[in-house]
Structure 1
Amino acid sequence: MEISYIIPAHNCENTIMRTVKSIQANNDKQQYEIIIVENGSTDNTKKVLQKMLASFTNIFLFHSKKGVSNARNLGIKKARGKWLCFVDADDYIVSTPICNDNVDLVIFDYLVGNKDKKLFTSSQSIDDKAGIFELKNEFLSNPTRYMTVWSKLLKNTIIKENQIFFDPKLQVAEDSDFFYRYLKFCKSVLEIEKPFYHYSIDNESTIRSAKSAIVSQYIQSMQKMRLYKKDNRDSSSAINKYILIHQNVSIVRGVFNRSDISFIDKIIKEKKIRQNIVYKEALKEESIFSLCKVRFLPQLFFKVHLGIMADILYELRAKYNEKRQNNQR
């Protein structure tokens, strides 16, 4: 068995068939299996999946407790393939995967909506220690771009032998936490300059729609990442950047996306979030020079005591997100 596709299925009656058919269209039936883990759906997902079982011989259906981490963990335990490929039930595959048993990780370009996310300028294999270290730090410093579990092939043996599972306690960034722990065992990486995965933005995910609890959920996830710095001092700056990027995400989604409070109230809430030790420490440890990139502009403004400029950026980003979502409906 070459590849095990693991799909958590929760309230996906309208999209799961598209996901499965995309895998079927881009793979040899003798080389892969599709593991679907239904987890607490309240729509007709279960009925749709039962019909699919009668049509496809290489689909295996399981049930888990509610939560994407519980579903993925069960999928990992059931997987028989050399490689694991995580696919969300509202996304789909757009090309044939490229497997290489001589590497520990295969990572592809991907599509977000109709836009091609060009991660790499060319396809190449990296297996020298310095190159892998630099690559891992780049991934950490730009987590929303790289630190996902989709659009990748991960070795089943590395996951099973090192008991790497998703943390069910984390409600956000659980995939980044999983991928960080997986990266610790990667000694070689194959980069593929070809879109493999389509990340859909026509269906609002839990992260994109939830607001009230998102801030505390991100703080919980970042507190766990903060602990990793103790055993990984050489990557402490990259981990700080990981934390600061998620600070931006949490503030935009949890505060500035809200329409029920004024701009002044948003500023007050933003300041309170910024005082949390996990964000305060990360900002303090980074120099102005290290923050001179567009994605760290809010932190650069915080560093030079121009917080109002960061708040304006957050407000503009929230409005852009809202406009984009409206255009997709």
Structure 2
Amino acid sequence: MDDLISVIIPAYNAEKYMDRCLNSIVKQSYNNLQIIVVNDGSTDNTKKILEKFAEADNRIVVINQKNGGVSQARNNGIYIAKGKYMCFVDSDDYIDINMIQKLYDGIKKCELSVCGFVNYFDNEEKDGPSPFGNTNGLKTRNEYLKIMSKYLYSVYFGALWNKLYLSEIIMKNNIRFDDKISFAEDFIFNIKYLEYVTKVSIVHNNLYYYYQEVKNSLTKVVDVQYRWQASYTKYCCCIEQYKKMDMYNECYREIYSAIAYELIGPTYDITKENYKGVKTAKESLKKIYEEELIKKAIKNVKKPQMVHRIAKISLFLKSYGIFVFCMRVWIKIQRYDGK
């Protein structure tokens, strides 16, 4: 008999998408599933929909909790998971009928199985990035980490939902989600899990449908400072784990380049003229760029963009006023060129 696989689905006000999500799971070609849905204090009809599905399919287990966030919901799912393997699906997404079977076929030879995905919008589908090309196969953990270091900002590596995990590794090493954060918590989970992996199975097929631009999606629009702080925490954890796995020296330029590229978005947001004034913009930039980690990123970025050049000059002159002024000029130049 095939091994039991636990599928964990956090759900918050997901009535619009719950049918589509659960139908894609209960109809999987791989049948031996424990389907755990954690209702995170929904105020719509999510609970009723889950009860209907649970009555019709005894593989479905519903947990109702007070609203505590996606990390807490996933952790509560992990606590009751009984499967040898574990995977995660977001309630506004859905999966290919053969996804779990293909991931299962891959993980039997290793400790982590990863597939491709489709960016799914209301009127459009677009294949997600494929860092490993179009071939299936096994990669050593170090091979995987090396490629990952070049794409640390990629959903492919950071997401939970295109992966199948060995439950023993999660339970034995107490790998859980930080319930104080709801941004980059999945990346942190993955990088901690990789410490205990020897090989990774790559399934090139795009089997997960990642639905975007949804009001109540788990990917929430958040304050720029909060978003950056979460990214900072993510990269600190990343560096620590790469050191533990003896891959830091080989990958540090890629890691710091990824940090530098991720700085671009917050820097633009902070220095736009419709932000909270020059004084606030200067203070916000200082909070970010005074960190030693950020100074290293600006110094080591492989292909510096204009933001990095402006940052380097401003840090040298110790002037965040110049930083704001130069960025606003650069933003205007780009708008003019784009006309």
Under TM normalisation by the shorter chain, which class is it? 0.7 to 0.9
The answer on whether the counterparts of 1:5 and 1:84 sit within 8 Å (CA) in structure 2 is yes
1 CA distance for matches of 2:219 and 2:290?
22
The equivalent position to 1:312 in structure 2, one of 312, 328, 331, is: 331
CA gap of 1:186–1:262, structure 2 versus 1, over 3 A, is same
1 CA distance for matches of 2:29 and 2:8?
15
- What TM-score does the superposition give when structure 1 sets the normalisation length? 0.79
The equivalent position to 1:157 in structure 2, one of 144, 156, 168, is: 168
Question: May I ask how many residue pairs the two structures share in their alignment?
Answer: 305
- What TM-score does the superposition give when structure 2 sets the normalisation length? 0.77
SS of the aligned residue for 1:34 comes to strand
Q: What stretches of structure 2 of length at least 5 have no aligned partner? A: 315-322
Per the TM alignment, residue 87 of structure 1 is displaced from its structure 2 partner at its CA by 0.6
The equivalent position to 1:125 in structure 2, one of 126, 137, 140, is: 137
Per the TM alignment, residue 247 of structure 1 is displaced from its structure 2 partner at its CA by 3.5
Per the TM alignment, residue 93 of structure 1 is displaced from its structure 2 partner at its CA by 0.2
CA gap of 1:188–1:311, structure 2 versus 1, over 3 A, is farther
2 CA distance for matches of 1:199 and 1:279?
36
1 CA distance for matches of 2:98 and 2:330?
43
Map 1:40-189 onto structure 2 (within 5 A).
40-65=41-66, 66-97=68-99, 98=102, 99=104, 100=106, 101-113=108-120, 114-119=125-130, 120-128=132-140, 130-140=142-152, 142-189=153-200
Q: Deviations over 1:160-212 (max 9, x none)?
A: 1111000001131111111111122221111111111111024134676534x
The answer on whether the counterparts of 2:13 and 2:45 sit within 8 Å (CA) in structure 1 is yes
The answer on whether the counterparts of 1:127 and 1:188 sit within 8 Å (CA) in structure 2 is yes
- What is the aligned partner in structure 1 of residue 287 from structure 2? 276
Per the TM alignment, residue 105 of structure 1 is displaced from its structure 2 partner at its CA by 1.1
Q: Deviations over 1:52-78 (max 9, x none)?
A: 111112111112342100110011111
Amino acid at match of 2:36: I
- What is the aligned partner in structure 2 of residue 226 from structure 1? 236
Per the TM alignment, residue 85 of structure 1 is displaced from its structure 2 partner at its CA by 1.3
Amino acid at match of 1:215: Q
2 CA distance for matches of 1:2 and 1:278?
48
Q: What stretches of structure 1 of length at least 5 have no aligned partner? A: 317-329
Q: Deviations over 1:119-170 (max 9, x none)?
A: 1312343444642441342353x34442111111111111111110000011
Question: Identity of aligned pairs, percent?
Answer: 26
Structure with larger Rg: 2
CA gap of 1:289–1:71, structure 2 versus 1, over 3 A, is closer
SS of the aligned residue for 1:170 comes to coil
The answer on whether the counterparts of 1:207 and 1:214 sit within 8 Å (CA) in structure 2 is no
